[in-house]
Chain A
Amino acid sequence: MKYLLLKHYRGGPAPVVDWAPMEQWTPEEVDAHIQYMRDFAARLEETGEFVDERALAPGGAFVRYDGEGRPPVTDGPFAETKDLIAGWMIIDVESWDRAVQLAGELSAAPGPGGEPIHEWLEVRPLLTESLTVTE
C-alpha cells in the first residue's frame, strides 16, 4: 500500500512546538535537520519501502482556464495563504500502522538545539489503478 507523507510549511493542526523559521537556526542545526531527512530516506530505501521524494519551492501560482482563445488566468503567488505544501515523500508499506509509525519518525527531525520539531505531517493513502476482483 502506498501512502503520501505530505509536509506543509503552514497549515494543518496548530504546531506543538513553536520553533523559529529554519533560516534563524544555526548552520549546524540546519545541517543536522537535512541529514536526518536524508538518512530517513536512505533507511527506507534499505527496507524496500521508499518510492519517491520531492521538495517544492514556496513560489508559484494558481492557474485556471478562462475561456476559448483566452490565456489562462493566474493568481498568486500567495505569501499569506493558510496552507502551503513544502514537499512530499511516497512510501510503499504493509499497513496504515506502518505508515503512521514512519510519519512519526520523520516528524521527529531535529530543530533548534537538536530537539525534535514535532511537526505535523499529513498521511494520505494513494488510490490504486488496479481493478481488484470483487464480484
Chain B
Amino acid sequence: MNELLLRELVPAVIGVLVRRGADFASAEDAVQEALIRALETWPDDPPRDPKAWLVAVAWRRFLDAARAEASRRGRELAVEVEPPAGPAPATDDTLRLFFQCAHPTLPRSSAVALTLRAVGGLTTRQIATAYLVPEATMAQRISRAKRRIAGLPLDQPGDLETVLRVLYLVFNEGYGGNLDLAAEAIRLTRQLVALTDEPEVAGLLALMLLHHARRASRTGPGGRLVPLGEQDRSRWDTGLIAEGVTILQAALARDRLGEYQAQAAIAALHADARSACETDWVQIVEWYDELLLLTGSPVVRLNRAVAVGEADGPQAGLAALADVNPDLPRYAAVTAYLHERAGGLEHAAELYAEASRAATSVPERDHLTREAARVRQLLRP
C-alpha cells in the first residue's frame, strides 16, 4: 500500500462529505476514522478504487455518528441519507481546507495540527508523536480548533498569509519523531502552488526547496550543527536547487515581491556560491534591505547585520547591530561572531558562552558551547 497516495486522497474525501451536507468537523472526524481503518486493512485487502472506498467508509461513519447524535438529542437526522449526485470541484475543496485549517483565529499550534490532519492526511497519533505530546492532548487540540472555526462564515476563508506561515512552521520543525515534517511541508506547499496563482506561494516553495537542498550538509556526526560557511557544498542537492531557482525566477518576474520571495532570493544567492568565500554578500545585503522594508522584522535586522559584516567587514556589522533589539534569542550569537572576526577574541568567547545559555534548541546550544570553547582555545598561549 502506498501510504502517501492514501494521504493525498484525504482532503478530497472531506470535500465530498461536506458537499453531501456534512459539517466540516464531523466530516473530518469521519474521514480520519476511515483513514485509520484503511491503514489497518489495505495492506491485506487493497480496494480497487481507493477513493470510492474512503468515501463510502467515511460517509457510513458520518451517518452513524450523526444518527447517534440525533437520537441523543431526540431529533430527526438533518442530512440526506442518500448523497446527492453532482459535479465534484475537488480542487476548490482542498484550497478551502487550507484556509479553514490555518484560519487566523486559531492558535498556531492548533492550525498546524489541523492542517497536518485534514490536508496532510496524517493520523492524530502521528502528529502527536511528531510534536511530542500525548495523543489525547493532540486530539483535544484538533477538536477545539474545529469547534472554534465551526461558526465562521465560509465566504471569509481567512488569510493566505497565515496559511503560508503555518506551512513554514511545519517545514522548520524538520524531523518530528519518524515523520519528515519538512518533506510534508514541501508536499503541501506544492499542492497549494498548484491551486493558487500567488507569487508568494511560489516564493515559499522555492525557499523550502533551497533550504531543503542543504539539509544533508547542515548536520555533522552525532547530529552536530554545521554552520553555512563550513558546510560541504558538494553534498548540496543540485536538483532541488535548480528547481527552487527556476520557481523563484518565475515568481520574481511577476513583479509582486513579498517576504518569502526575498528570503528565497537570499537562499538562492547562497546556493549559487561554489564556496563560502564566493558568496555575493553585497547582493545579499540588498535583499535584506528589501526584506526589512517588507517586514520590519527585528530578526531580519539581526540577520542583515551578519550580511553587512560579511560585505563590509565586522566593524560595519557591529555598527549595523546598533538598532537591533538585544533581547532577540540569537543576538549574543551574532555579536560573538562579529567580535571574533573583528579580533576581539576575549569578548567573543564570553559572548558565545552567553549565547549558548540563550539558545532555544539543543543542537544550537551545543554548537555555541563548542564555539566558546574553540575561541578560548585560541586565547591560550
Contacts and interface: CB of A to CB of B under 8 A. Distances in A.
Nearest to B168: A133
Nearest to A51: B133
A132 B137 contact: no
Interface of B: 107-110, 131-134, 136-138, 140-142, 144, 172-176, 211, 214, 218-219, 225, 227-228, 267, 270, 303, 330, 359-365
Contacts of B132: 2, 51
A51 B137 CA distance: 7
A135 B172 CA distance: 12
B118 to A, nearest CB: 16
A48 B113 CA distance: 11
Contact of B363 (A46, A52, A94, A129): A129
A94 B218 CA distance: 28
A47 B172 CA distance: 24
14 contacts: A46-B140, A48-B109, A50-B134, A51-B132, A128-B360, A130-B173, A131-B218, A131-B363, A132-B364, A133-B211, A134-B303, A134-B330, A134-B364, A135-B270
A92 B211 contact: no
A63 interface: no
Contacts of A131: 174, 218-219, 225, 361, 363-364
Nearest to B367: A131
Interface of A: 2, 45-52, 92, 94, 125, 127-135
A12 B358 CA distance: 22
A101 to B, nearest CB: 14
Interface pairs A-B: 5 shortest CB-CB: A48-B141, A48-B140, A128-B361, A135-B228, A130-B174
Contacts of B270: 135
B172 A132 contact: yes
Contact of B107 (A52, A94, A134): A94
Contacts of B218: 131
Nearest to A125: B360
A107 B233 CA distance: 52
Say what secondary structure dominates the interface of chain A: loop
Contacts of B109: 48, 92, 94
A45 B134 CA distance: 9
Contacts of B211: 133, 135
Given A48-B133, A127-B359, A135-B267, 5 more contacts: A51-B134, A52-B134, A127-B362, A130-B361, A131-B363
B110 to A, nearest CB: 7
A45 B136 contact: yes
Nearest to B266: A135
Contacts of B142: 48
B140 A133 contact: no
Contacts of A129: 361-363
A92 B113 CA distance: 13
B360 A92 contact: no
A129 B175 CA distance: 9
Contacts of B134: 50-52
A94 B169 CA distance: 13
A95 to B, nearest CB: 9
A46 B136 CA distance: 9
Contacts of B267: 135
A129 B363 CA distance: 7
| Among B176, B219, B228, B360: residue with most chain A CB under 10 A | B360
A92 B128 CA distance: 12
A48 B144 contact: yes
A48 B137 contact: yes
A8 to B, nearest CB: 22
Nearest to B169: A132
A53 B174 CA distance: 27
Contacts of A52: 134
Given A48-B110, A133-B172, A92 B362 contact: no
Nearest to B362: A127
A107 to B, nearest CB: 22
A131 B181 CA distance: 12
